[in-house]
Amino acid sequence: MRQTTGPISRFGTLKSLLQRFAFLSLIGITFALMLIGKADTVLVDRARVAVTDAVTPILRVMSEPAGLIANFINNIHELAAIREENAQLREANARLLQWQAAAQRLESDNQSLRNLLSLVPEPSATFVTARVVADTGGAFAQSIIITAGTQSGVRKGQVVMTGEGVVGRVMQAGLYSSRVLLITDINSRIPVLVGDAGNRAIMAGDNSMRPRLRYLGNRTAAVAGDKVVTSGDAEAFPPGLPIGQVTRVDDGVVEVEPFVVRDKLQHVRVVDFGLAGILADQPPPATPQAKK
């Protein structure tokens, strides 16, 4: 028996030694990668872009059934309330037709006044619509992956919105996919204006559902129900985009409930406002360019 178990047990010992060596080496590599990620974000970003681009087609297929189920449930809800909603829509339609007439009148007024002043128009915003195929990170990071990349004109730093308000900013743009940093992420910092008085503050995400307001000049000024909009400082966002509403003011802590419900996101708009943005890869030019 010894003749047969001897080599086997030696082989077993060697195998377990090799396994232990592999384990320790890989643990060492994980720590090294975390350090590299902290020091060289460009390298890690490139890797993220490549992997996200490669995996997005799979995520797109996987997100399809959940999207179908969500749409089905929505349809049932809508069918149940269809009569009531129809009445509401008729009423809204009548009201909006009045607004349309008012808007057309104001537009023609506006146009003639612009002509009088020879005003140079601001560059208009363009947008790309994309599907949300992944909602990543769980408790530790808040980002989504969308199906539009540089091929569709998406660039790093662009603003991502829905009809309700700001979703976040493009953090990495691949060829066919992009990662959007949500306003609730711990790395998100947005200059905002709070309430009718327009108090300046920074809205900082912390990976929870409700970001907080920091550096609010007048802490007593914010009350629950105040609207929070982008301030346009630092050129990351244009001014006046809706973000959310103050829900809790407690002992210096001001919490904001975003208008956009993250879990309901199916499609988003990536808007190009023509801003340099603090997230752009290229540093802004030293001298401001003259407007043509």
* Least distance from another protein to the Cβ atom of residue 149, Å: 15
Is residue 229 close enough to count as binding another protein by CB under 8 A?
A: no
Structure tokens at 8: 């086997």
**Binder to another protein among 207, 221, 232, 279 (CB under 8 A)?**
207
Give the separation between CA 272 and CA 60, rounded to whole angstroms. 24
* Least distance from another protein to the Cβ atom of residue 33, Å: 4
Q: What are 200's strand-pairing partners?
A: 193
Is residue 208 close enough to count as binding another protein by CB under 8 A?
A: yes
Binding window for another protein (CB under 8 A); candidates: 101-109, 157-165, 249-257, 262-270 = 262-270
Is residue 175 close enough to count as binding another protein by CB under 8 A?
A: no
**Binder to another protein among 33, 113, 223, 253 (CB under 8 A)?**
33
**Binder to another protein among 215, 264, 267, 274 (CB under 8 A)?**
264
Is residue 132 close enough to count as binding another protein by CB under 8 A?
A: yes
Is residue 253 close enough to count as binding another protein by CB under 8 A?
A: no
Is residue 42 close enough to count as binding another protein by CB under 8 A?
A: no
Is residue 55 close enough to count as binding another protein by CB under 8 A?
A: yes
User: Residues in the chain, how many?
Assistant: 292
**Binder to another protein among 93, 263, 287, 290 (CB under 8 A)?**
263
Is residue 143 close enough to count as binding another protein by CB under 8 A?
A: yes
Q: How far is CA 118 from CA 113, 216, 291, in A?
A: 9, 39, 15
Give the separation between CA 248 and CA 222, rounded to whole angstroms. 9
Give the separation between CA 149 and CA 175, rounded to whole angstroms. 5
Is residue 158 close enough to count as binding another protein by CB under 8 A?
A: no
Q: How far is CA 3 from CA 6, 12, 15, 16, in A?
A: 6, 15, 19, 21
* Least distance from another protein to the Cβ atom of residue 83, Å: 26
* Least distance from another protein to the Cβ atom of residue 126, Å: 26
Give the separation between CA 126 and CA 174, rounded to whole angstroms. 19
The number of C-alpha atoms within 13 Å of 85 and in the hemisphere containing its C-beta is 7
Give the separation between CA 131 and CA 193, rounded to whole angstroms. 30
Is residue 171 close enough to count as binding another protein by CB under 8 A?
A: yes
Give the separation between CA 43 and CA 27, rounded to whole angstroms. 20
CB 173 within 8 A of CB 160: no
**Binder to another protein among 141, 175, 221, 278 (CB under 8 A)?**
141
In 150-170, which positions are buried (b, 16+ CB within 10 angstroms) versus exposed (e)? Answer: eebebbbbbbbbbeebbbbbb
Is residue 206 close enough to count as binding another protein by CB under 8 A?
A: yes
Is residue 265 close enough to count as binding another protein by CB under 8 A?
A: yes
The site for another protein (CB under 8 A) is made up of 19, 22-23, 26-27, 29-34, 36-38, 44, 47-48, 51-52, 55, 58-59, 62-63, 66-67, 69-70, 132-145, 171, 179, 181, 185-187, 204, 206-209, 261-266
